[in-house]
Amino acid sequence: MSVIDYVPEDESAAPSSDWRYHGEAPPEPTAWLIKNVLPQTGAGLISGQWGSYKTTVALELAVSTMTGVPFADRYVVKRRGGVVCFAPEGANGLASRLSAIATQRGHSGTLPFAWKADCPPLMAKDALTTLTNEVTQAAEHFKSNSASHSRWS
For the chain, give every domain's residue range. 32-146
What span, in angstroms and rounded, lies between the C-alpha atoms of 12 and 8? 10
* pLDDT at site 151: 47
Q: Left if phi > 0, otherwise alpha if psi is -120 to 50, otherwise beta: which for 23?
A: left
User: For residue 143, is pLDDT > 50?
Assistant: yes
Which residue type occupies 59? L
Specify whether the CB–CB gap between 101 and 56 falls below 8 A.
yes
| Average confidence (pLDDT) over 19-39 | 88
* pLDDT at site 14: 57
User: For residue 4, is pLDDT > 90?
Assistant: no
> Which pLDDT band, with edges at 50, 70 and 90, does 114 fall under?
very high
The H-assigned helical ranges of the chain are 54-67, 94-104, 127-149
Average pLDDT across the chain, whole number: 84
Q: Residue 98: is it exposed, middle or buried by C-beta count within 10 angstroms (0-12/13-18/19+)?
A: buried
The pTM assigned to this predicted structure is: 0.74
| Average confidence (pLDDT) over 95-124 | 92
* pLDDT at site 12: 60
User: If DSSP codes are grouped into helix, strand and coil, which group holds residue 113?
Assistant: strand
